[in-house]
Amino acid sequence: MNILFDFQHPVDVNFFKNTINTLKNDNHNIFLAFRPRGSLERILRYELPGFPVFSFGKHGKNIVSKLCFNLLREKELLKFYKDNKIELTCGFGPLTTISSKVFGIPSLAFEDDYEYKINFYYAKLFATRHIMPKIFPANGKNVHFFNGFKELAYLHPNYYKPDPGALEEYGLAPDEYVFVREVANISLNYQNKKNNIFELIEMIKSLGLKTVLSLEDKSLKNKLEKDCIILKEPVKDINSILAFAKMAITSGDTMAREASLLGTYTIYTGNREMLIHEDFYKIGIMFNEISREEIIGRVKSVLEDKNDKQAMKDKIDSMIINKWDDMTKVILKHINDFTGNKK
């Protein structure tokens, strides 16, 4: 079967990578489409070498431009479907669903951001299957559920094991540092961000911990490198660095989930109430904190119990094995419903 995968963000590459390699081994023809943005093309070509890669559309800076550019992109895709005899499209989000419906082929739209209503209802209206976490209060003939998190497509123990060797480049040891991810204020989802990165680093230093910083806004590098360890981008194995951190602090919701699934206490500072995080809040591994005082209090409470992180990691590992889905298996199940492969 001729299958097109559409990529909007770097994490989409991680989400579909294991699936795509499995489908290649099953002799399907795979096409990779992306919307130009940042380092996405470089990551796509590096992580999935040997697959044909095609660029469509461009990234908008506000809601109106995003909608307009998305519709123009869908129009571009129609010709591509015809020329390449595409039979199925698959993406994280809705951005091939209109063109697929017009062309008369099925589309799979995976979802984990219930609060981003434009994309959610876009997929709900046009996708053949709208596939989302079971916790979402959605219904409809095209709605399908999974139990867990998209990040388990690549962080499930079937595919990934943290490597302590990843710390050597930076002279780190497990549990002696706090990981901080600073996210540049360029996305609609981060417009209400309140945290100041300089205050955050000062607070961590006062508690006797090292700060390991993954910095998106490169203009801050010279101002921060004296007070923290700045990771060299692209980071070879950022998930191992997350896994061995004493705690992670991030305004990025994907990275907050990654850290939590790796068994690291996480403070999410993105200032968004997200339904997908409810399991983590109930377990007690993720905390939604905004103010400097809240963050200080949370870090101190974790440091008081030296053995607590291992106990929490064991709890998360048990949930991964016994409750939450291996997302690569979920993706393949939905695709194989259309390919006829009943593996």
Q: How far is CA 30 from CA 48, 59, 79, 193, in A?
A: 11, 24, 17, 38
**pLDDT, position 199:** 73
CATH of domain 164-323: 3.40.50.2000
**Topology adopted by domain 2-147+325-340:** Rossmann fold (3.40.50)
Locus of tokens 């490597």: 163
Q: List alpha helices for the chain, DSSP H.
A: 10-25, 40-47, 63-84, 97-103, 117-126, 197-206, 221-224, 238-243, 253-261, 278-283, 292-303, 308-322, 327-339
C-alpha–C-alpha distance, residues 130 and 235, integer Å: 33
**Do the beta carbons of residue 20 and residue 50 sit within 8 Å?**
no
Burial class (CB in 10 A: 0-12, 13-18, 19+), 339: middle
Q: Do the domains spanning 2-147+325-340 and 164-323 agree at the CATH topology level?
A: yes
pLDDT in tens, 301-318: 877 766 578 899 999 999
pLDDT in tens, 20-44: 999 999 999 999 999 998 889 999 9
Confidence band, pLDDT 50/70/90 cuts, at residue 185: very low
- Is 1's pLDDT higher than 80? yes
Please report, for the chain, the start and end positions of each structural domain, with discontinuous segments joined by +.
Answer: 2-147+325-340, 164-323
